[in-house]
Chain A
Amino acid sequence: MTNWEPVLLANVNRPNSEKIDTYLRYGGYEALRKALKMTPDQVTAEVKTSEIRGRGGAGFPAGVKWGFMPKDAPVKYLAINTDEGEPGTFKDRLIVERDPHSILEGVIIASYAIGAHRAFVYIRGEFFLGVKRWIKAISDAYQKGFLGKNILGSGFDLDVSVHRGAGAYICGEETAMLESLEGKRGVPRTKPPFPAQKGFWGKPTLVQNCETLANIPHIILRGGKWYSSIGTEKSKGMKIFCISGHVNSPGNFELPLGTPLKEIIYEHAGGVRKGRDIKAIIPGGSSTPFLTAEKINTPMGFETLQAAGSALGTGAIIVMDETTDMVEVVRRITRFYVHESCGYCFPCRIGGQRMLSSLERLAGGKGSKQDIEDLEYVAKGIYGRTFCPMGTGMAEPVLSGLRLFRPEFEMKTAKN
């Protein structure tokens, strides 16, 4: 087992890790001091060099996104996505609760680089502790002069505030998040214009996942070159993998991108319960397609998982052993998405209802061949044709479930 010195999770197990003093004791806010001595363009260039890609699910290169922020716009914003709603994902929560300052330092550096003087934390409403920790971290940072006017004498001003979500998964989607932040219904916006062109209140806005931001201080301190030396060709740096399901030691593990799935499951997460075989793996959160045990050697990277027929998503691995009822798994996942559809576009909103209706009959042993056909017809109809990617995320588990485990679905109809 390759042991890696943790970067993002270096602090989380220290006593009082969330306190600003602890953070400072272990070199906190040094990166900020360094960044404030650089020009904003140099900071952005460093992030570009690191080749870090977004950790919120879509994997867009962060440096490139910063570069999209118009230079001449007088008002710009940064929005920090802490809505973490994708089933199987629990990494952002860990950082926010145990090491909020690592994100906040990234926030200040990013704001400096793009010229934003106002940043908003959008946090999932159920993260009660997370909300408290964010608020405390921000007020402590104000006290120490890391926030507010003229930060550390640099002449740079930044205010940060926290906004709690009200429990809708879709509000993790960046444009729905901006709508919600503006006090409206959380419904995605048309893209283009992208948030970097027209975001919060119509002003250029950088939306970044909080894990992505937590990487920034390390990139600044150790250099983009260092960061890009870790990982695979198209997936650079360290990543927190959340493992759950039928493994002996579920939890968060920070490893370089490109670590094989097998190593994560068997060496870090302690293997499958009761020594059973694996039937299916979800590698990147419940909206990414299933993999079968044959793909166990796939390195966990953006391009490698894509080649294997799935996606890295949020890096949330869900392991299912040989005893798992895959029809039931697909039903449960679908139920989640149907419940959480924002209700805006037709295929996702109603297609989901129709898929769930078939899945409920199938899982309940009352389904027929017609239900399977219907399921496939509807999932294909939804796939790629919805207003935002959520609809496609809803179709993925159904389509890959049918592709890989069709006999299980058919078994369920045997009686009818």
Chain B
Amino acid sequence: MPNLIIDDLPIEVPAGTKVIEAAEQLGIIIPRFCYHKALGSVGACRMCAVKFLQGPFKGVQMSCLIDAQDGMVVSTTDEEAVAFRKFIIELLMLNHPHDCPVCDEGGQCLLQDMTVAGGHSLRRYLGRKRTYRDQNLGVFIAHEMNRCIHCYRCSRFYQEFAGYRDLGPTQIANRVYFGRFEDGQLESPFSGNLVDLCPTGVYTDKPARFQGRRWDFERLPSLCIHCSLGCNTIANARYRAVVRVEARFNDAVNGFFICDRGRFGFPYTNQPERPRQARIDGNESSLEDAVAGAGRKLADIAHRAGPNAIACLGSRRSSLETQGLLNHLCQLMQWAEPDYFLDPLLKKKVKSAISQLDSRVAVSLRQVETADFILAVGVDPLGEAPMLALAMRQAQRKEATVAVIDPRPVPLPFSFEHLAVPTWEMNGCLKLLMEEAMRKEDEKSAARDRMAAEEGWLRNNPASAEIRRQIAQLAALFQASRNPVLICGTDIVPEATPAVVGAWARSLLEEKGKCGLFYVLPDANAFGAGLLGAANDHAFLETVGAIERGEVRALIAVESDPFERFPDRSRLEQALAKLELLLVLDYVPSPMVQQAHIFLPTSTLFETGSTFINQEGRIQIAQPVYHGGTPLSQMNGGGHPPRVYAGGLPGGEPKPAWQLLIDLAGALSLAIETGAVENPLSLVASAHPLLAGLKNTSSLLDGVRCLPDVADAEPVPADMDPAVGPGTENELQLLFVDSIFGAEELSQYADVIRQVEGEPCLYMHTQDAERLGLVEGDRVLLTLDAGAIEARVCPSQSMAPGTLVLPRRRKLEWQKAKSFSTRVTPDRIEKLK
């Protein structure tokens, strides 16, 4: 480990550390523009010049390019180095517009900081500035190329780090231009990171433009709850509205970046349609009256029909506090435990996945980047957990092999091996690959033939020869790997898959001494729901049956909108109509809220601050960023200054859902422990042994994992056969899936997200499309059990034949399907003229 001296301070750093990093460890921040920890050193800006006084290098050199070495003596304040940095700053200001007051970056601009710090204030250059035309880069990012200092951070991130090609440098010399070949929406779903990365105001957050300077904002650490990864964010609020979300560095989760769904998906908290007032039978009421009314009704129903007539539906997007209090309330009232899942199958898969994780195998998102072999089963990273795609790409850039077993056309921004088998063949395919990879050299080929013959699962697959070739090739690479990571989805996979993958991870751990296990779960707090949810197989689907049979008469839905995912809309509507009481607590104007007999408005995580467990089992907290209330821009017709002559916070009725549950308990004459009122987490901490760590909240700021040392893993079900086996020759399996934009509940309330979600497509294998006489772009009418829906056809070579894929877009009414997974015959697909 090299020892060196920087500005008279000695430091020892690991070999390979750049001098700029070594200085940072001493708290000395050497100025830089092009260098970025995630993007590496390129030596373009020459801003990090320091003077090497002793050691293998001498004189003014770039600290981002030189590895720390023994015997170096470095000065960052040496006159010559300072003069050179000043020289660079002056050059940058040659072309830069002198209009910080009208630039949205002002106040958070590295160039501004450096210019002021460097003391450059007098213009000596008499020539003309070079100027550019700007482009329209779509709804997320504004473009002002004149502000560019050509540090190449944007193109390095966009092309090299993230793997998209539609933005980059063109031209040479002083004419270099960063943009697209023509105006248009940026294709990368990680484009928002350009805003954080660009050291000047070329790329700014378009929806947040001119909403305030950084110092105007209430800014606090928050979390993204638009998927299960739990990326860390910073939320910025002003005038009672969240204005902007930025990425927050977390070395164990998202690193420096977040996806565009996470960055631009927050407006649900501001929207004018947000229900902020309690309602009884459609009429606004005070919160107290509504709570009291709900309490009376519930008591009455329980009195008449017993506690089992009351059912609760919790939510996987609710905080741990809310989930915990809902559970607690049910316990106290002797109601049935709340449902967190609509589909019992999904519940089983999530619970099984969680049970597989322990501190030996569970890896963080960042650790996925270090894998040398990644096998992903039944997961579409961009759709279900976008940042996972970026992490996998980082591994692939370091020459990891990536293989994906999935029937969908999985779009990933890098090259990988796609084993496109239908869902019912996924376990077989996985088994074949793993057994092949774990097998000794001499047993191999014989066993392979035997396997394929016995299994028979490949027989129906026309691509079987190709898949067999892929498996043989991958198995060899797998065997050679030292740090494999298995990734497993929980959405479209057969019931047994999470357990199968978990079991393989443990075998590999034994064999190689190292193997990572990474699940993708449905929604931000699915882990909490899985941990706290009932041990049995009960799910909301059964509750609907019970309502229909008249057994359940009251339903309490807490921040949960079953209309999003329940596959039979009219059945749900009819069932809800039978209820004596539908009590809904939520912060979005969901269809459930519209149907509620009594509605209680809840606050969002930006207002409350709350705790979530991500898919890795990491407990993280979001802090309350602002106090809530109707955004000022929505008051007084947007007039300024807003004049409201009333006490209190306008629109400030909503309360944290857990708080309302405590109030409801009060209305039911039940006393919740006083400690819980102060700190709801104390109650959650005793709800599950793995959550004991919650008692110490200060440790949660950086996140802590709640995992056992050794998992008490649910075994692989004896019957590995998936529910949907091969049907008749012509039938196609219809899968409903997630997609990056337009299928996630909360982000869909954002205008910008709806603008980019694009038209929903029905994906099918090219060969199936040919059989049906369809080509790219054709419109079809797909008749489902409860009616027909229209979609555009997208044939794809890289997906499983015999499978149809349809994203669960709100605008599609896919809920006409009536069941969670379905098969359709070709005659149900009718081409539209």
Q: Which A residues have a C-beta under 8 Å from some C-beta of B?
A: 168, 170, 185-186, 190, 338-347, 349-354, 356-358, 360-361, 370-371, 374, 377-378, 381, 385-387
Residue of B nearest to A367 (CB): B126
B125 within 8 A of A: yes
Chain B nearest CB, measured from A87 CB (Å): 16
Q: Are A385 and B46 in contact (CB under 8 A)?
A: yes
In the assembly, what is the distance between CA of A342 and CA of B176, in Å?
Answer: 9
Tell me which of B42, B88, B173 contacts A342 (CB under 8 A): B173
Chain A residues with CB under 8 A of B42: 190
Mask for B125-156, Cβ within 8 A of A = 1, else 0?
11110100000000000000000011010000
In the assembly, what is the distance between CA of A349 and CA of B65, in Å?
Answer: 19
Are A343 and B126 also in contact (CB < 8 A) when A338-B174, A349-B173, A385-B84 are? no
Instruction: Contacts A347-B87, A347-B91, A378-B87 known; list 14 others, CB within 8 Å.
Output: A340-B173, A343-B176, A344-B150, A344-B152, A345-B44, A346-B88, A350-B92, A350-B94, A351-B91, A352-B173, A354-B125, A360-B127, A377-B87, A387-B43
In the assembly, what is the distance between CA of A356 and CA of B42, in Å?
Answer: 26
Q: Are B172 and A370 in contact (CB under 8 A)?
A: no
Query: In terms of DSSP, what is the predominant structure of the interface of chain B?
Result: loop
In the assembly, what is the distance between CA of A342 and CA of B150, in Å?
Answer: 12
Chain B nearest CB, measured from A193 CB (Å): 12
Q: Are B94 and A353 in contact (CB under 8 A)?
A: yes
Q: Which B residues have a C-beta under 8 Å from some C-beta of A?
A: 41-47, 49, 60, 65, 84, 87-88, 91-92, 94-95, 124-128, 130, 149-150, 152, 169, 171-176
Q: Are B46 and A354 in contact (CB under 8 A)?
A: no
Query: In terms of DSSP, what is the predominant structure of the interface of chain A?
Result: helix
Which one of B149, B173, B174 has the highest number of Cβ atoms from chain A below 10 Å of its Cβ? B173
Are A385 and B172 also in contact (CB < 8 A) when A190-B41, A190-B65, A353-B94 are? no
Q: Are B49 and A341 in contact (CB under 8 A)?
A: no
Are A381 and B84 also in contact (CB < 8 A) when A341-B174, A342-B173, A345-B45 are? yes
Chain B nearest CB, measured from A94 CB (Å): 28
Tell me which of B46, B124, B125, B126 contacts A347 (CB under 8 A): B46
Q: Could you show 7 A-B contacts with beta carbons less than 8 Å apart?
A: A344-B44, A345-B46, A346-B45, A346-B46, A350-B94, A358-B127, A374-B124
Q: Are B130 and A353 in contact (CB under 8 A)?
A: yes
Are A346 and B150 also in contact (CB < 8 A) when A354-B125, A381-B87, A385-B49 are? yes
Are A343 and B49 also in contact (CB < 8 A) when A190-B43, A350-B94, A353-B130 are? no
Chain B nearest CB, measured from A166 CB (Å): 10
Which one of A351, A353, A374 has the highest number of Cβ atoms from chain B below 10 Å of its Cβ? A353
Residue of A nearest to B40 (CB): A190
In the assembly, what is the distance between CA of A338 and CA of B91, in Å?
Answer: 14
Chain B nearest CB, measured from A173 CB (Å): 13
Chain A residues with CB under 8 A of B87: 347, 377-378, 381
Chain A residues with CB under 8 A of B176: 343, 349
Residue of B nearest to A353 (CB): B174
Chain A nearest CB, measured from B233 CB (Å): 32
In the assembly, what is the distance between CA of A381 and CA of B83, in Å?
Answer: 9
In the assembly, what is the distance between CA of A387 and CA of B91, in Å?
Answer: 16
Residue of A nearest to B159 (CB): A184
Chain B residues with CB under 8 A of A170: 172
Which one of B60, B65, B91, B171 has the highest number of Cβ atoms from chain A below 10 Å of its Cβ? B91
Chain B nearest CB, measured from A416 CB (Å): 12
Residue of B nearest to A345 (CB): B44
Chain B nearest CB, measured from A197 CB (Å): 15
Chain B residues with CB under 8 A of A356: 127
Chain B nearest CB, measured from A373 CB (Å): 9
Q: Are A357 and B44 in contact (CB under 8 A)?
A: no
In the assembly, what is the distance between CA of A357 and CA of B129, in Å?
Answer: 11
Chain B residues with CB under 8 A of A385: 46, 49, 60, 84
In the assembly, what is the distance between CA of A162 and CA of B172, in Å?
Answer: 24
Tell me which of B43, B126, B150 contacts A349 (CB under 8 A): B150
Q: Are A361 and B43 in contact (CB under 8 A)?
A: no
Which one of A350, A352, A356, A387 has the highest number of Cβ atoms from chain B below 10 Å of its Cβ? A350
Tell me which of A185, A340, A341, A378 contacts B169 (CB under 8 A): A185
Q: Are B174 and A350 in contact (CB under 8 A)?
A: yes
Q: Are B174 and A357 in contact (CB under 8 A)?
A: no
Residue of A nearest to B65 (CB): A190
Chain A residues with CB under 8 A of B152: 344
Chain B residues with CB under 8 A of A338: 173-174
Chain A residues with CB under 8 A of B175: 343
Chain B nearest CB, measured from A171 CB (Å): 10
Residue of B nearest to A377 (CB): B87
In the assembly, what is the distance between CA of A344 and CA of B150, in Å?
Answer: 7
Chain B nearest CB, measured from A291 CB (Å): 27
Tell me which of B44, B130, B172 contacts A340 (CB under 8 A): B172
Chain B residues with CB under 8 A of A354: 91, 94, 125, 127
Residue of B nearest to A381 (CB): B87
Residue of A nearest to B128 (CB): A357
Tell me which of A185, A350, A387 contacts B95 (CB under 8 A): A350
Chain A nearest CB, measured from B257 CB (Å): 23
In the assembly, what is the distance between CA of A385 and CA of B83, in Å?
Answer: 13
Q: Are A350 and B84 in contact (CB under 8 A)?
A: no
Are A168 and B174 also in contact (CB < 8 A) when A350-B95, A385-B46 are? no
Q: Are B127 and A357 in contact (CB under 8 A)?
A: yes
Chain B residues with CB under 8 A of A371: 126
Q: Are A357 and B171 in contact (CB under 8 A)?
A: no
In the assembly, what is the distance between CA of A346 and CA of B42, in Å?
Answer: 12
Q: Are A353 and B127 in contact (CB under 8 A)?
A: yes
Chain B nearest CB, measured from A235 CB (Å): 28
Q: Are B92 and A346 in contact (CB under 8 A)?
A: yes
Chain B nearest CB, measured from A302 CB (Å): 23
Chain B nearest CB, measured from A378 CB (Å): 8
In the assembly, what is the distance between CA of A10 and CA of B41, in Å?
Answer: 48
Chain A residues with CB under 8 A of B41: 190
Residue of A nearest to B41 (CB): A190
Q: Are A346 and B44 in contact (CB under 8 A)?
A: yes
Report, nearest first, the 8 A-B pairs whose CB atoms are least far apart: A357-B127, A343-B176, A350-B91, A381-B87, A341-B173, A343-B172, A343-B173, A345-B44
Chain B residues with CB under 8 A of A186: 172
Residue of B nearest to A338 (CB): B173
Chain A nearest CB, measured from B795 CB (Å): 29
Chain B residues with CB under 8 A of A361: 126
Chain B nearest CB, measured from A398 CB (Å): 15
In the assembly, what is the distance between CA of A351 and CA of B124, in Å?
Answer: 13
Q: Are A343 and B174 in contact (CB under 8 A)?
A: yes
Q: Are B174 and A352 in contact (CB under 8 A)?
A: yes
Tell me which of B46, B125, B150, B172 contacts A386 (CB under 8 A): B46
In the assembly, what is the distance between CA of A206 and CA of B634, in Å?
Answer: 67
Chain B residues with CB under 8 A of A339: 173
